[in-house]
Amino acid sequence: MQANIQHLTSHFRISKLSGFILGVLIYVMLTLAVLFWYQDDVEQMTWADREVFNHKIISQYTLNSGINQQQVLDRLGSPDITAAKQQGNTLYQVLYYRTHRDTPDGITTTAECTALLFKNRQLIAIGESAVLQYQAVRGSAD
């Protein structure tokens, strides 16, 4: 009888440990799934979180990766400021996304944003280069 009790006690400890380990593994897997597959919703972010998010995503963009305007809009949402210029059959659009705050006055300026320049909806410049190229397009005659 005492041997049966020891056997049951031993079996219960192993089952309890296995259950704990299984629970921890499930928790870790669910946490990783949320972190890797959950898309951030920029519309639900605070302005401070959105600035950090915009900076993080824009810093990952490269000009040779073939990024189009719709991909940017899908990932970053609506821009804070935008401008466009049609030149013949070519459309230039610059989208400004706020990436930092200079003055906490409630007004977003281009100085607080990172510019993304698109030519016929394909990304061609980022940052100060985008601003300079767009200014050159705006200043040139049609």
Cβ–Cβ < 8 Å for 140, 133:
no
Does residue 50 share a domain with residue 34?
A: no
pLDDT in tens, 18-34: 777 888 888 888 887 77
From 70, 69, 72, select the one nearest 92 (Cα to Cα): 69
> Do 60 and 8 belong to one domain?
no
| CA 137 – CA 102 distance, rounded (Å) | 27
Number of domains making up the chain: 2
Alpha helices by DSSP H, listed for 1-68, are 2-37, 47-60
- Give tens-digit pLDDT for 86-126: 999 999 999 999 999 887 888 889 999 999 999 999 999 99
18 and 65 inside one domain? no
Domain that holds residue 83: 44-139
Instruction: Please indicate, yes or no, whether residues 15 and 48 belong to a single structural domain of this protein.
Output: no
Structure pTM?
0.70
Contacts (Cβ under 8 Å, ≥6 apart) of 116: 58, 61, 72, 79, 94, 95, 96, 97, 123, 125, 126, 130
Q: Do 83 and 64 share a structural domain?
A: yes
Mark whether 16 and 55 lie in a shared domain.
no
